Amino acid sequence: MANTELVTIVEKFANSGWDVIDAPSKKWSEANGSAETAAELLAAIQKADNDCGNCGCEFDPLYKRALELLQAA
């Protein structure tokens, strides 16, 4: 299972209501951070960061941190 910080961030994404990241986040959580779902989550977070990573919302720094944590795992 992933570290606590990543789990906390992914839970926020799962409750965001934004389809780009909420469904992959829920799937990753339900699969206990499996490698297969981690790849899907990583792609979703990269898309979210590209689409909205500089808008000034609370998620902007979380995208970047989640990407760091997922890539280090």
One DSSP character per residue, 12-68 reads: HHHTS--TTTHHHHHHHHHTTS-HHHHHHHHHHHHHHHHHHTTS-STTHHHHHHHHH
Write the CB contacts of 35 (distance below 8 Å, at least 6 apart in sequence).
Answer: none
H helix or E strand, kind and range, residue 2: none
- What does the pLDDT profile of the chain (73 residues) look like in tens digits? 458 999 999 999 999 999 999 999 999 999 998 888 999 999 999 999 999 888 888 999 999 999 999 988 7
Taking the whole predicted model, whether its pTM rises above 0.85 is answered as: yes
